[in-house]
Amino acid sequence: MTSSTRVPPTEITGIYGSLVKAMSRKMLGQVPDAAGVMWHHPRVFKDMMGFGRKVEAWNRLDPHLAAFATMAAAGAVGCSFCLDLHYFMSHNRGLDEAKAREVPRWRQSTAFTPLERRVMEYAEAMSHTPPAVTDEMSAALLAELGAPALLELTARIGTMNLTARANVALGIRSQEFSASCGLPPLAAPSVDGVASA
């Protein structure tokens, strides 16, 4: 296994390891380098995956908003692995992949509704260090989404920050899951404000 991660992936072994590899191949078509990196401490890997499954079961927030928020947070942190994986997952879940593709340049794109823009702005603000969420942002989302959905949104963004920051620190990068199923590449934000494909 070749990788440019900061911690080299290790062989995934054992009964649980066989299950991890089988599920990864079924869901993603391959075993990501991230799994091999995390396998150095299987308990951490298992606990993080278990929590991730619980997060995916939350249902008070519209799934499109959840996908856009997590991708915007991943983009703000700079996790190419997370962006690509969530774009791929949007496709597999039947979500709006044309909009998901535009998340990296959401400020320039005309694809999003005002609410979707507020959700992504909130995701980016939460992902800054220190967080830059304002009372106005929270009040607007509370009025539009209600308290349970705003709580879920906030928790999903916080969870993505945990995952994305860990991946960036470990040097885990995109493995082009979206390319494997024929999705066009994610849109790229431009420095000069002009969106590029």
So what's the pLDDT on residue 177?
Answer: 84
Please tell me the distance from the alpha carbon of residue 165 to that of residue 139, in angstroms, as a whole number: 27
So what's the pLDDT on residue 186?
Answer: 86
Please tell me the distance from the alpha carbon of residue 39 to that of residue 19, in angstroms, as a whole number: 13
Please tell me the distance from the alpha carbon of residue 40 to that of residue 28, in angstroms, as a whole number: 21
Which of 35, 67, 71, 30 lies closest to 180, judged by CA? 30
Please tell me the distance from the alpha carbon of residue 175 to that of residue 32, in angstroms, as a whole number: 7
So what's the pLDDT on residue 12?
Answer: 97
Report which residue type is found at 25: R
The pLDDT tens digits for 114-135 are 999 999 999 999 999 999 999 9
Dihedral of alpha carbons 100, 66, 78, 31, sign: negative
Confidence band for 190, pLDDT divided at 50, 70 and 90 = low
Q: Which residue has the tokens 């997952």?
A: 89
Please tell me the distance from the alpha carbon of residue 101 to that of residue 72, in angstroms, as a whole number: 11
So what's the pLDDT on residue 191?
Answer: 56
The pLDDT tens digits for 4-21 are 899 999 999 999 999 999
pTM: 0.90
The pLDDT tens digits for 19-76 are 999 999 998 889 999 999 999 999 999 999 999 999 999 999 999 999 999 999 999 9
So what's the pLDDT on residue 185?
Answer: 82
Q: Is the peptide bond before 130 cis (omega within 30 degrees of 0)?
A: yes
Q: Which helix (H) or strand (E) holds 192?
A: none
Q: Domains in the chain, please, with CATH? A: 58-179 (1.20.1290.10)
